[in-house]
Every structure is written in structure tokens, then in C-alpha cells.
Amino acid sequence: MEDNNHQFIDTAAELLAPNSVVIAHSLGCLFALNLAKKYPDKVARLILISPYFVQAQAAKMFQIQAISKLIFRFVPKDVIAKDLHPEGQQNLSVRYAMDSLRRMSVSKHISEYMHHINLPQQRAAQTALLSELRSKIEIIVGEKDPIVTPISPDIPVHIIAGAGHNPHVTHVEAVYDYLTPVLTKYISTTAQLSDV
């Protein structure tokens, strides 16, 4: 699994322009933080949506690889989809995610990561990295899936009212309204730096 992480991070770095803004969600925050640590010149800003390691742990059944793999593969897609979004599979993003989970390789990898990311030492390591990189980070969380681990007060946290773990899917407009000025500010700052 570690080899896959490094390969993914190195490949992502090749695709990024210097001083990029990286937006990541949940498990993706693991990769985004490690990308910013390894390639600081590539990542000017990290926007982390629902970073798993500072929120409540997943239910025990998702922490046991064998069980979670079976859940992802065999529980009816509509049951899981409704948990992600009120419209369930009518939402195209959710439908794509559900179709992907039915592939054995995807359910296997997600199950491995769900186990790995819930280990106390993994959560502690990612929280420490969050503090180390705090000057580059902003966090967005849903009101119903709050931060439960103390983090640096230097990190701006924006809470989306009424949202859970997937505010970018369930509350798109609220996330958009928050991100627009943040990204506009970043773009103008980058333009000024490139003119110097």
C-alpha cells in the first residue's frame, strides 16, 4: 500500500504546476498532505474537505477489511448511496462512486485504506503533518461531521451548515460560495508573485 501511495504522489506532482491549490476530500487528504510535504514548491494551498483523521472514526464494521470489502461489494448500492446523498444514485457523482465500488480491485483497496487510516498511529501521524503544514491549509467540514481532534488554531475551519461528511456533494452551492473568494484570492496572489 505504501508503494502505491508514493507512486500516486509522485505522479500527481508531475501533473501539477508550481504553486497549485490542491483540494482533497476524506481519504484524499492523506495523499494531499503527503504531496505537500514531499513537493512543497508544487502546493501553495491545501483545501481539505472532511479530513478523516481529525473527525470521528468510521464504524467498526468499516475498519475490519474482510467485512468492509463485503459491504462495499454486496450491500445494495441504493443503501450506501442514500447515506452519501439524499438523492442517492440519481446524483451522478454518487452513481459513479457506487459503480466503482462494485469493481473488486476498488472495494479491496478502499477496504485496505479504511483499515489503515483508522489505526491510532496513522491518525496521529496525519494530524501531526496537518500541524506542520498549517500555514498552507484550510479545512471545510459539515456541521454533522465535526472535527473531534484538537488542531492548530492557525488553520481556518469553515463549517457547512446541515452537511455531513460529503458537503461538496450534498451542499455544492455552500462549498462553491466559500471556495470562490478563497480561490480568487489565491489566483491574484499567485499572479502578483509571478510578476515579481
d(CA 66, CA 141): 29
- Same-domain check for residues 177 and 195: yes
The CA–CA distances, whole Å, from 188 to 24, 28, 182, 192 equal 22, 26, 10, 6
Q: State mean pLDDT over 101-108.
A: 80
Per-residue pLDDT at 85 exceeds 80 = no
- The pLDDT tens digits for 87-103 are 878 888 888 888 887 78
- Same-domain check for residues 78 and 44: no
Tell me the pTM.
Answer: 0.83
- Same-domain check for residues 106 and 11: no
Counting the structural domains of the chain, the total is 2
Do 190 and 44 contact (CB within 8 A), yes or no?
A: yes
Per-residue pLDDT at 62 exceeds 80 = no
- Three cell numbers, residue 13: 506532482
- The pLDDT tens digits for 141-192 are 999 999 999 999 999 999 999 999 999 988 999 999 999 998 888 776 554 4
- Same-domain check for residues 141 and 50: yes
- Same-domain check for residues 38 and 67: no
- Same-domain check for residues 45 and 68: no
CA dihedral 39, 43, 45, 48 (to 10 degrees): -70
- The pLDDT tens digits for 120-153 are 999 999 999 999 999 999 999 999 999 999 999 9
